Structure 1
Amino acid sequence: MKNFILHINLILLFAGIVVSCSNEQQSILDIKHTEKLLETRPDSALKLLKQIDPKVLSTSEYARYCLLMTEALGKNQIPITSDSLISVAVEYFNDKSDKDIKAKTYFYAGWVNQEMQNTKQAMEYFLKAADFAEGDKDYKLQYLIYFYLGDLYFQENLYDSALKMNKQAFKFSKLLGNKNYMVYALRSTALAYSGKGQKDSSIVYYSKAIDLLPKSDSVTLATLYNEIGDRYNDIKKFKQAIQYVDKAISLNPSSEELHYFYVVKAHIYYSSAQYDSAYYYYSKTVESPNLNTKVDSYLKLSNIERKRGNLKKAFEYTDIFLHNKDLIEEQSHSEMIIKMQNIYQHKKTVEKSSI
């Protein structure tokens, strides 16, 4: 009897080992399959990763799993609120000799920290990624590293550094032969020149981006038209400014984008002292769901009424302006009204470049 029970226990133990090994082998196969899927079907890749039991993975496979899960979350535009996954990959691959996997790991560590608004840490990771990727043939990864670095420097008002990174990004986009990536890099370069106050150079790079962009991409084209219109307004070429913004509007943008385009058009009329037209468009932009847009619009409406001599109406708009400004400060403590609009548009393009 005792021999029989022992025999059964041995069978069960062996069966358990076989099942465990089978599960681990299947998980490893799933991980390899996921790597191939991520480029073409990131949603399917994420579903596959979620079916894997991390507990059956070896240390090395678990590190790769954490990296792939981070990549899958990014490609599916799922918000990242913790660096716990990517930290596992960083810790494991940091001591390995494979520069390719280290470059990729540090890139995603940078992306996660950028998403979490840990700017300094994100920059450090991206710069490490650039070092490990140097000389590699993975031009897409190098493009993304420099593109995201440029975006970080831009948001920190470090425009010279942003220009340097954007030009590197453009170099790799050319090596890739990817026109969309070229357009994004050129646009970022234009934004950086604008930040430096070099509006003419900014217009040059916007024009290059527009020439390269497929006209079928109406969303990006509308954004470029609107922004180049804003730059023409900066150098007081109001006729060209209005022409470009009208081109943007003619492409039937979404209501959210349309409010932003109306803001620029209102600014152009305001800058050229065409106050009736400016008033008309600011009256539209006060309906924007973006509080920053509301605040700036009410302030401009107040200024226009003051110029017209309608002091009572000017004070009414000022009161509304102050009320909405307080709401913004409670929510974000931000007073960078127009720049916030610019960063918002820039961020949309960054996301569209697809990590």
Structure 2
Amino acid sequence: MNAGHFIILIISISLLAVSCSHGNTTAELDSAESMMEEHPEVALALLDSIESPTDCESNARYALLYSQALDKNYIDVTDDSLISIAVDFYEKSDDLHRLMLSYYYHARILYNKEAFTRSLLAHSKSLQCARQLNDNFWCGRNAAQIYLIYDKFFYSNDALHYAKLTYDFFNKSDKHSPFSMHALLELARAHYNCDQYNDALLLAIAATDSAKKYNDPIIYKSAKKICADCYYFLDMLDESINSYNELMMIDDNPDLLGSLGIAYLKKGEIEKAMKLKIDSIDIQYPNLVTFQSELYKVKLDYKNALSLSDMLMLQNDSALVNSLNQGFGMELSSYYEYEAMINNLKIKNIRMFNLIIAISAAAAVIFVILMIIRIIKHKNQVIEKNVDIAHNLRELLDLKQAQYINAQDEISKLLTSRFEMFDSLFASYYEGKATKNLRKKISDEVERLIDDLMTEERISDLENSLNKNCHNIVALLRTDFPDLKDADYRLFIYSALGFSTTAIAIFLNQEKLEAVYNRKARLKTKIKKSDSKHKDLFISKLSK
């Protein structure tokens, strides 16, 4: 174990000891937060040792810190349920800093799950908060992420806008290094992607100097590549060739060979280009594919040249389609900037007021239309559901008619009446006359039957009938178990009468069958554990 790991271990043990000794959730969260920047792995270990807080504020803070720790430890997650707890809480609080962080880490998770548009909007919200806090560092962090999303899908102008913002924010921040060096590199790349090669070259040269100063080989190679590409498009071919050759000495990327070959061909040094050895062609190295295609043209092998060109076109078309399918542009993030501007400056201009009224009115009209559509849809769904229930109840009523032919006069009379009604309706239904009005009549009849069987009067009739024909079974249950809930007595009555679980769920206003199964299981357990001498009888009725 090296010294660094030993120190971290000691810190972890100390923090855990403090947590255990005090048992104070706030102190534990404070400790994790204090370790987050310097030792995020320790913060994550500490958070793992904390039980999820029960109060809303601590739970929201825990959700934020845990999401932050995962991100800082390079653990990519796609489930945003945890960070959503923090977002929901801090949106209703006055803690703007933690709201900003909640939006930021929510956006990171949305990016991981490839919900790029939602990630863009979340970063825009976080950027608004950071601006309100005058926190240039977090303004830069959010602007950098927005830039990456736009750049990923080739929104070059939007990407350039946010690359400039990123660079400016980090330069104003007290914590600008090494973020400012990355921002400089990405600003050079953004200018290059917009065909602004002179600006891109100057920035890329500055980035290579900065990378040398801070001994960052990754940024150096990336900046040097931008320099070489800019030299090529500015027809500074000697500089371009020299830069590619230098890069090939420190980077084994096959695409550099393609870029060098293209530069040789553009300069007219065909022999040097022909001497470059190409081991294999892979579409993921477009410059290498382009170079090979150009070599085929030099050799007058147009068939193979065209084949490689088609490969590149297919790849580019795929990238373009992917970009278009994202469906976002500058307006998605500028909406929130515009909204924040209105709130901060409290614009009282009458034209803006009228615009807001118009938008609100339009939204209200749309809302009303959507609600009407929803109500109609819900009504149709209820009718369809009730028709399905009617099928089931018709079978149920048919069963009851046979079961209670010699007893339970009141029930038989009720069920026979309903059965005749259903029989009449379904006769027309099965003859192919399933009109909208007929379906509604069936639905209405189902609702009347359900309402009838749920009334206190009908429950009393059913209970009296059971007591009359089943040796006072309900009365015995009430005597042996006087503390049962009314719903338990109803459950017992319906079960003893032989109604299905589906029917009982309807009568008890339960949306899920599991609720009936669970209640019946609890009632059985209570009866089995009792000293009642009638428990076997009760259980037999519940087991139907």
Pairwise same-fold verdict (TM > 0.5): yes
**Letter of the 1:111 counterpart:** R
Structure 1 segments, 4+ long, off by >6 Å, are: 21-24, 317-326
Residue 260 (structure 2) pairs with residue 262 (structure 1):
no
The structure, 1 or 2, with the larger RCO (C-alpha pairs under 8 Å, 6+ apart) is: 1
Deviation at 1:325, TM superposition (A): 9.3
Distance change >3 Å, CA 210–CA 81, structure 1 → 2? same
Map 1:15-164; keep pairs closer than 5 Å.
Answer: 25-54=23-52, 56-164=53-161
Map 1:4-19; keep pairs closer than 5 Å.
Answer: none
Deviation at 1:187, TM superposition (A): 1.7
How large is the RMSD of aligned CA atoms in angstroms?
Answer: 3.2
The superposition leaves residues 102-126 of structure 1 with CA deviations (integer Å, 9 ceiling, x where unpaired) of 1111111222222222221112111
- Taking structure 1 as the reference length, the TM-score comes to 0.73
Distance change >3 Å, CA 64–CA 242, structure 1 → 2? same
Name the CA distance, whole Å, in 1 between partners of 2:290 and 2:236. 24
Deviation at 1:184, TM superposition (A): 1.4
Name the CA distance, whole Å, in 2 between partners of 1:51 and 1:97. 29
Tell me, yes or no, if the aligned pair for 2:255 and 2:287 is still in contact at 8 Å. no
Name the CA distance, whole Å, in 2 between partners of 1:333 and 1:247. 33
**Letter of the 1:63 counterpart:** A
Tell me, yes or no, if the aligned pair for 2:256 and 2:288 is still in contact at 8 Å. no
Which position in structure 1 is the counterpart of 2:234?
235
**Letter of the 1:301 counterpart:** Q
Name the CA distance, whole Å, in 1 between partners of 2:44 and 2:261. 44
Tell me, yes or no, if the aligned pair for 2:167 and 2:180 is still in contact at 8 Å. yes
Count residues in correspondence.
Answer: 301
**Letter of the 1:292 counterpart:** Q
Tell me, yes or no, if the aligned pair for 1:147 and 1:166 is still in contact at 8 Å. yes
**Letter of the 1:81 counterpart:** T
Residue 300 (structure 2) pairs with residue 303 (structure 1):
no
**Letter of the 1:160 counterpart:** N
Which position in structure 2 is the counterpart of 1:201?
199
Residue 195 of structure 2 aligns to a residue whose secondary structure is: coil
Which position in structure 2 is the counterpart of 1:13?
none
Distance change >3 Å, CA 154–CA 282, structure 1 → 2? farther
Name the CA distance, whole Å, in 2 between partners of 1:282 and 1:28. 64
Residue 283 of structure 1 aligns to a residue whose secondary structure is: coil
Deviation at 1:136, TM superposition (A): 2.4
- Taking structure 2 as the reference length, the TM-score comes to 0.50
Tell me, yes or no, if the aligned pair for 2:192 and 2:226 is still in contact at 8 Å. no
Name the CA distance, whole Å, in 2 between partners of 1:43 and 1:159. 36
Distance change >3 Å, CA 44–CA 177, structure 1 → 2? closer
Residue 82 of structure 1 aligns to a residue whose secondary structure is: coil
Which position in structure 2 is the counterpart of 1:183?
181
Name the CA distance, whole Å, in 1 between partners of 2:289 and 2:163. 36
**Letter of the 2:147 counterpart:** G
Structure 1 unpaired stretches of 5+: 1-20, 337-355
**Letter of the 2:292 counterpart:** L
Tell me, yes or no, if the aligned pair for 1:221 and 1:248 is still in contact at 8 Å. no
Deviation at 1:247, TM superposition (A): 3.1
**Letter of the 2:284 counterpart:** N
Structure 2 unpaired stretches of 5+: 1-18, 322-544
Instruction: Point out the structure with max Rg over C-alpha.
Output: 2
